[in-house]
Amino acid sequence: MVVDELLNRYKIQNISKSSFKGDLFKYSCHYFLKPNTFMNLSGESIVAVKKFYKIDEVVVIHDDLDLPFGTLRFKYGGGNGGHNGLKSTDSYISKEYLRVRMGIGKPEHKGEIISFVLNTFSDEESKYLSKWISYTADAVEKLFELPWQKVASQYSIKKFLLQ
């Protein structure tokens, strides 16, 4: 959703190839990838683009069950927290990349995780979703010009619902 927001903001060229296993767009010297693989195989798409364009820095925007809905955090490297998309990415490009972590909360019971992450947002969450997506896209734009630590200090939020 954040990538879609960024695509809507700019005149962006689609440069997708089937070997990328995803939709790839270019704006200035930045690439935006939306993998078409299953989430647990997204590393395949990322590594294909990374190698083809010889990209050094990767930013992955992802949902995070360990953070309450509306939280925005930034992290460089580290563990995958059980996130299958991050596990895949780690296995293909290492753990050395920036993560833009968007908290979605977690279900009451561990057995409900799969249905929880595949479900739509609640009515209450949906009220704030477009503003939160826009806010996160603003933060990603700042990553084009500022060090990630500075962006993190300016844009990290505990819970967007309280803003």
Look-up: residue for tokens 């693989």? 37
Domains, the chain, ranges and CATH?
A: 2-162 (3.40.50.1470)
Q: Which of 77, 87, 21 is nearest to 52 (CA)?
A: 21
Segment-wise mean pLDDT, segments of 10 residues, the chain, 163 residues: 93 92 94 90 94 95 87 90 84 93 75 66 82 94 96 86 48
Kindly list the distances between the CA atom of residue 6 and the CA atoms of 32, 53, 56, 141, 147, in Å, as whole numbers in the listed order: 9, 20, 21, 8, 19
Task: Name the token pair of 152.
Answer: 């993190």
- The per-residue pLDDT for 109 is 62
Cβ atoms 98, 143 nearer than 8 A: yes
Cβ atoms 126, 35 nearer than 8 A: no
User: What whole-number distance in Å separates Cα of residue 150 and Cα of residue 26?
Assistant: 24
The structure's pTM equals: 0.88
DSSP 55: -
Tens of pLDDT, residue by residue over 83-124, are 778 889 989 899 999 999 998 877 676 666 666 666 777 788
